Chain A
Amino acid sequence: MEIFKFEADFNSWDTISEQINIELKEQGVSVSNIRKIMMALEEHISNIIKYNEASVNVELTMDILKDAAKFIIEDNGKKFNPEEVIDASTDEEVVRKRVGGMGITMVRRLMDETDYTYEEKNIFKMTKYLGEE
């Protein structure tokens, strides 16, 4: 298990995401799963950065097991439950209008399990099963 603590800004996240990418490769996670995990993490962390004005701290715990990669992302930003956001519409007209929610949809579809709780901070868990593809 690894824990990454960083300030929620794009430069810090860039550094951390590279470390996560390397660790996933070293742990033998497939290229396909790495891409999905990295895209999901990118969307979630980006939302934390974009939707909070003041300095926010993030603690990301990564646990790579034999059959699953588990992530817990805690932040002390504004209370926000992504599970309350409905999937972005794929209707062409709606997509063209660039209505929000696309990133949350991506997280939900790319990962196999997601869970949100609030305990004085946002706690978002996401799991990717690493079985046969």
Chain B
Amino acid sequence: MEERFIVTVSGDEAVISAKGAFKTKDAEEFGLRLMPVVINNKRVVIDMTETEYICSGVLREMLAAQAKVDDSDDKELIITNVNDEIMEVFEMTGFINILTVE
């Protein structure tokens, strides 16, 4: 997954470029890669420009990361450039009310 989960750090901001389709088999690894980035950076942006689709398992990992952000006073997790279909999933699952999607 390394080539599909690219982390770029600049100062205290990390941008994750998530590329391709993230299926159930990818969910655990997605979470294992995401959480340290969230822990070690003040602001994390998940750029989904090249994300085709995601699964409910990945949504759960995002939720876990969001919980870590919510527990802190100064962290941010932002999801950007989401395609219409993934946005529809965020809306139908209620995740749109929990995650910061721009």
- Which residues of chain B are near A94, meaning CB under 8 Å? 94
Q: Residue B53 contacts which of A14, A35, A50, A92 (CB distance < 8 angstroms)?
A: A35
- Which residues of chain A are near B32, meaning CB under 8 Å? none
Cβ–Cβ contact B67 & A96, under 8 A: yes
Majority-rule SS of A interface residues? helix
A89 at the interface (CB under 8 A from B): yes
Cβ–Cβ contact A105 & B93, under 8 A: yes
Which of A39-47, A78-86, A118-126 sits within the interface? A39-47
Cβ–Cβ contact B83 & A91, under 8 A: no
Which of B17-25, B35-43, B72-80 sits within the interface? B17-25
Q: Residues of A within 8 Å of B, CB-based: how many?
A: 31
- Which residues of chain A are near B89, meaning CB under 8 Å? 39, 106, 110
Question: Given A32-B84, A106-B56, A46 and B92 touching (CB < 8 A)?
Answer: no
A95 at the interface (CB under 8 A from B): yes
Cβ–Cβ contact A46 & B57, under 8 A: yes
Query: How far is it, in angstroms, between the C-alpha of A105 and the C-alpha of B55 when the chains are bound?
Result: 12
Q: Residue B24 contacts which of A32, A46, A91 (CB distance < 8 angstroms)?
A: A46
Cβ–Cβ contact A35 & B85, under 8 A: yes
Question: Given A95-B98, A96-B98, A35 and B52 touching (CB < 8 A)?
Answer: yes
A114 at the interface (CB under 8 A from B): no
Question: Given A90-B94, A98-B60, A102-B93, A42 and B85 touching (CB < 8 A)?
Answer: no
Query: How far is it, in angstroms, between the C-alpha of A22 and the C-alpha of B82 when the chains are bound?
Result: 22
Within 8 A of A (CB), among B44-94: 52-57, 59-60, 63, 67, 83-86, 88-89, 92-94
- Which residues of chain B are near A109, meaning CB under 8 Å? 88, 92
Return 24 A-B CB contacts under 8 Å, by A number.
A10-B23, A10-B25, A13-B25, A14-B23, A35-B53, A35-B83, A35-B85, A38-B53, A39-B53, A39-B55, A39-B89, A42-B24, A42-B53, A46-B24, A46-B56, A49-B24, A50-B24, A90-B94, A90-B97, A92-B97, A95-B98, A102-B56, A103-B56, A106-B56
